[in-house]
Amino acid sequence: MIASVLVAAGALAAPSPALLDLHVSNGSAPFAGDTRLLTTVSPNHDGFRDAAVVRFRLTRAATVRLEIVVTNMVRAGKGGTTVVWRTAKRFDWGRHSLTWRPTPSTQPRTYIARLTVGDRVYGAYGPNGRQNAPVVRVQGVDAAFTRRSYAPGQTAEVRLATDARQLRLQVFAYQAPGRPSEQDVKTSGVAKTWPIRVDWSAHRDGPAVLRVVRAGDWPSGLYFLRATADDGRVGYAPFIVRPRRLGSHRVAVVLSTNTWAAYNFADADGDGWGDSWYVTARHSSIDLGRPFLDFGVPFRFHDWDLEFIAWLNRTGKAADFLSDDDLDAVANGDELAQHYDLVVFPGHEEYVTSHEYDVIQRYRNDGGNLAFLAANNVYRRVDRVGQTIVPRATWRDLGRP
């Protein structure tokens, strides 16, 4: 009697509903790099890649909840996820889909499509977890130069990814804020070139490299390319014009381009989490070729670099601008001391190569003047490996605090 009761009770326990064959698409053509769990959308209401369609097979009737989740860096204490959109619907068993149509104002980046059915959650994985849910890449105009600095007269190349048909390209030099009619809103820059129209219709399904500008006799400084699509989407890409020769001015300004890259939370591998060691230690290197989030402006650029550059321009002070690559290319600190009386690091110069460290230290020992305008400088050694930087030990642990 007892055995038969147990069998009857077990027969009443139904299995929890599950989602099988999860995949995502944009309803149009895939963009380069799209997979079953990654799709690219461009929400500009042109009927092409406007929506993300999440498809699945439901094992039994249930309510399926879809949440669109934006991820944040976690190792620095700001982490977790934020839901930016949600919907829910009751389905019978079988094949179904749920659709997210982002608004045109949705920030370009990746989003995890988190699905919940019964007691099962798909998309609750962290930056070290295995991806088990779709990811949607909202595409704007992604732009990144192939080098971080250029010499006067050198042709610059930029890698662009967008499905816009037409682009308008224009270069701005960062300046102090002025009359709005003369300023570029995002970078507070002054136009250095006329807008150039480019037919991009042949590259709507994948990125391409474009030669965009020859940095003629422009003063050494920080510049931005602005790429504007015919539908209004905008992307920026920073680059530095270095001096024609070291010592064109007796003051050098080194912009913290390695730190910009380390704090770049762009998600190139499409798992929904930023590709930075600030997000997860799983990323043991940083790809320098990724476009920046925030429409292409480096993270906290406005905090670290903008005010000092604005002050230089406002007061009419000229200097040679260098990237970390340019500083790394200086033969030694003696050469740096021959050319400069003062080297200023306005940003957060956290990551330097061994050679950069040696150059800075020797320059100081030669009597050169150093000005660090932010905290935690020369903190960790990095090695340049191709188009990446790889973190090593902190300089303090290496006996060189």
**Structure tokens that stand for 146 in this block:** 């192939």
Long-range contacts from 207-212, C-beta under 8 angstroms, 24+ separation: 207/32, 207/142, 207/159, 207/160, 207/161, 208/159, 208/160, 209/146, 209/157, 209/158, 209/159, 209/160, 210/157, 210/158, 210/159, 210/160, 211/155, 211/156, 211/157, 212/156, 212/157, 212/158, 212/169, 212/171
Q: How far, in Å, CA of 273 to CA of 281, rounded? A: 12
Q: Which residue's structure tokens are 């991806």?
A: 131
Closest to 385 in 3D by CA, of 261, 291, 288: 288
% the chain with pLDDT above 70? 93
Which residue type does 377 have?
N
pTM above 0.85, yes or no: yes
Closest to 252 in 3D by CA, of 315, 171, 189, 312: 312
Residue 309, pLDDT above cutoff 60: yes
The model's confidence at residue 193, banded by pLDDT at 50, 70 and 90, is confident
Eight-class DSSP state of 4: H
The model's confidence at residue 303, banded by pLDDT at 50, 70 and 90, is confident
pLDDT, mean over the chain: 91
Q: What confidence tens digit (pLDDT) does each residue in 18-42 have? A: 999 999 999 999 999 999 999 999 9
Q: What confidence tens digit (pLDDT) does each residue in 224-280 have? A: 999 999 999 999 999 999 999 999 999 999 999 999 999 999 999 999 999 999 998
The model's confidence at residue 9, banded by pLDDT at 50, 70 and 90, is very low
Residue 7, pLDDT above cutoff 60: no
Domains and CATH numbers, the chain: 18-138 (2.60.40), 140-241 (2.60.40.1930), 245-263+298-401 (no CATH)
Q: Which residue's structure tokens are 């977790």?
A: 80
The model's confidence at residue 135, banded by pLDDT at 50, 70 and 90, is very high
Q: How far, in Å, CA of 381 to CA of 379, rounded? A: 7
Rounded average pLDDT over 332-337 = 98
